[in-house]
Structure 1
């Protein structure tokens, strides 16, 4: 309801359904385009599970028997287009529900068959119904030999085959009977619309300003082949990220679907700073654990209260929270192979456990400590939660880089 108490209209002017009228269609008197006499059109606003709201429009003329059913999306055009690729393997796949908008293109690659966009009205049907509608259209409207041959091929088509529905408006839908779990037979891909697709949907009125190649790459995840030593799997991504009140960093991730190998690393995206930095944080509250932290490969870490020092290049580049970084240190110390096993001395195995207990006390807020990051390259970062104001618990010092002078 609005501030004045009036009921606001639903999508496309339809009144929002109440609890009693949720499944009741709206009836509108309209003209039959077959006999040109008045009949009834029924509109129903409904919600498809795991999808969105749609408007089902059904017209049936009691005088001449002509009927027509269409669907329209009740929401806006999505930010990205969507492509569904369904591997039809049996009768159960033929019964999947499908929402096909009028802007969608349907393909069956095995038959080199395509239904172009805007050649059919939007419909709510099944995979089998979609194919039967295509067969009826070929037999009725195109009496040429090629159309008859395509209709015969569609009728005789046996499983398995691939059904692809590409919709630049992003409002298509193919049912996943296993939802909310993943469907191995269904692949959903989201993509950016081309200029031609923007114009086709009536979204592009003026030519967009040309962007430089550097700006395009700044907002794009770069993918390239990276051969793993064991599985030889191509699976590596890179992306530039701007850290507020700091600089750009490059996030590198490897995630292989075949061997499940996963790694991630962060590199500084800028030049080496003219001055080195030493960041000292006085940990006094559990909320300090949520601070963002960037440790580059040239940064060393100290915790004086625990007499602990982590040298450069240990744990490589890492962009995480302070809590996540302290837990990584805990794993590194407690799983040291030289302090485990039967060959280790009793005193050696007790020290890592004692260190782990004290580190957990710092993480839980039961122990105050100082966390020091010393980076001669100046490319490490610890979040100032009061930015742009000064953080009373954090101190940042800068120092010149030490240069090597050879002796005579």
Structure 2
């Protein structure tokens, strides 16, 4: 039986990368009770890291007495700042092969059948869309023998519904699959990467009070909305000070510190830069957030890259900003890479690493060679852009207006760069949570309420 030593825990060596040649990455075996025959079986635990899914715990149980087995995957990383929702239009049988990471806190819906799998009713799984359908069918069939004896009418209706679910695997007509996860730790594969997938829509949302209670990050008796206090009153004290607060490393989960500093970007605005450097595993990360309010108009910055010197331009990409390169038919959504304060070359390198180097779906025995070759070709094109061998248009589209690209001719206009202001659409305001945000008329409403109470 493998043992997790105290030294590994302190050094951040518990979560290992998946490597067939790593002899130390053996699963931990635990003798546990079989819930089928109530005799002792064996549970194997593997603590590992999966790209796009942080740290995970993969568990597998098998019983040598009754041959019953069970597998489960659990997220061992932190709960994300926002929930995430994937909406996929399944149009062909090829879509059924998409990889899906479904956390136990996720809700699965098929609107066409009015079918829903509530959160915490299934264990987390790493599967495909076809696997999700098979798992749903297996769950419905589990108690059917008992229902046929006690409630034959109900059992008959469930049999009819199971046939409808099984028919979805033939994809005779298009249907919609929705995976909504308030923890933000679920994932649906985009097989067209690095291009945008028109059939897949990804959106983030703010968790409700009930969802926070289900995730265990809010007390059951706490029903008050807790709004963060504005930092405007403390800005003067923070401008010349680096704030340090305790946190955990996102890679090895070891205790570390995050530094935060307010920085004024010339010809732009004030931003908050947060940086984390882990002494245990050496992981380094930085994140940038706007220090001001949401702009009234969105911003679209277009740069025509014509010279290698363009790679040294300073760049601020907020967490709401999308990146487009029309010549490569490439679009990076607002949720990817987060906020960054770097150079144009640094952002291009991060894009290449995300799409090519750190993509978990281009390795292993199930990878598609055609897709791997396409992604490697995309990486070469990124290299050509950074080397100045390929002239392209680089676009930062930020509906909040908090992104920035350095004008090397400032304060004069840049002949290779255009900055456009535009009005956000209703859908963009909905994604940003601005449609339900009311910041005007509170003083008048409070005065009217007070007068009514006095009367």
Shift of 1:196: 0.9
Structure 2 match to 1:251: 295
> Is the CA contact 2:45–2:58 (under 8 Å) kept in the aligned structure 1?
yes
Equivalent residue for 2:111? 109
Once the two structures are superposed, the pairs formed by residues 376-395 of structure 1 within 5 Å of their partners are none
Taking structure 1 as the reference length, what is the TM-score of the superposition? 0.52
Residue of structure 1 equivalent to 2:175: 161
Deviation, structure 1 residue 68: 0.6
More helix by share: 2
Query: How far apart are the structure 2 equivalents of 1:207 and 1:64?
Result: 47
Q: Is the 8 A contact 2:108 2:180 kept in 1?
A: yes
- CA drift of 1:204 comes to 0.8
For residues 151-188 of structure 1, give each alpha carbon's deviation from its aligned partner in whole angstroms, at most 9, with x where no partner exists.
11111223421111111111111122233443222211
**Which of 142, 146, 155 is 2:157 aligned to?**
146
> How much has 1:70 moved relative to structure 2?
0.7
Aligned to 1:53: 55
Structure 1 SS opposite 2:179: strand
**Could you say which residue in structure 1 is the equivalent of 2:7?**
6
For structure 1, the residue ranges without an aligned partner over 5 or more in a row are 216-240, 256-261, 265-288, 293-317, 333-408
* Structure 1 stretch displaced more, 92-101 or 200-209: 200-209
Q: Distance in 2 between matches of 1:98 and 1:319?
A: 34
Output one character per residue of 1:204-228: Cα deviation in whole Å (capped at 9) or x when no partner.
Answer: 123445659x97xxxxxxxxxxxxx
Of the three residues 187, 197, 208, the one matched with 1:194 is: 208
In the alignment, the residues of structure 1 paired with residue 183 and residue 83 of structure 2 have an alpha-carbon distance, to the nearest angstrom, of 5
User: Unaligned 5+ residue runs, structure 2?
Assistant: 1-5, 148-153, 231-267, 272-290, 303-312, 317-402, 418-455
Q: Secondary structure at the match of 1:153?
A: helix
Q: What is the distance in 2 between the residues matched to 1:94 and 1:69? A: 21
Give the equivalent residue in structure 2 for 1:77. Answer: 79
The residue that corresponds to 2:408 in the other structure is 323
Q: Residues 290 and 27 from structure 1, CA distance in 2 versus in 1: closer, same or farther, beyond 3 angstroms?
A: closer
* CA displacement at 1:242 relative to structure 2: 7.1
Q: Tell whether the 8 Å contact from 1:254 to 1:263 is kept in structure 2 after alignment.
A: no
- Contact 2:106–2:181, Cα closer than 8 Å, also in 1: yes
1:106, distance to aligned residue in structure 2 (A): 0.3
Equivalence map 1:3-402=2 (5 Å): 6-8=7-9, 14=14, 16=16, 20-21=22-23, 24-141=26-143, 143=147, 144=154, 145-157=156-168, 158=171, 159-205=173-219, 206-208=222-224, 211=227, 243=270, 251-254=295-298, 262=300, 323=408, 325-328=410-413
Q: For 1:251, what is the secondary structure of its paired residue? A: coil
Asked if the contact 2:95–2:129 (Cα under 8 Å) also holds between the matched residues in 1, the reply is yes
| 1:255-274 deviations in Å (ceiling 9; x for gaps) | 7xxxxxx589xxxxxxxxxx
CA distance in 2, matches of 1:182, 1:209: 36
Distance 1:67 1:248 in 2: 54
- In the alignment, the residues of structure 2 paired with residue 291 and residue 25 of structure 1 have an alpha-carbon distance, to the nearest angstrom, of 43
Q: Mark the CA change 1:290 to 1:31 in structure 2 (over 3 Å): closer, same or farther.
A: closer
Aligned-partner Cα distance in 2 for 1:291–1:90: 40
Kept after mapping to 2: 8 A contact 1:9/1:15: no
Larger radius of gyration: 1
Asked if the contact 2:86–2:180 (Cα under 8 Å) also holds between the matched residues in 1, the reply is yes
Corresponding position of 1:228: none
Instruction: Give yes or no for contact 2:8–2:14 (8 Å, CA) kept in 1.
Output: no
Indicate if the aligned counterparts of 2:15 and 2:55 stay in contact, CA closer than 8 A.
no
- What's the secondary structure of 1:193's corresponding residue? coil
How far residue 24 of structure 1 moved from its aligned partner, in angstroms, is: 2.9
Runs (4+) off by over 6 Å: 247-250, 289-292
- TM-score, scaled relative to structure 2: 0.47
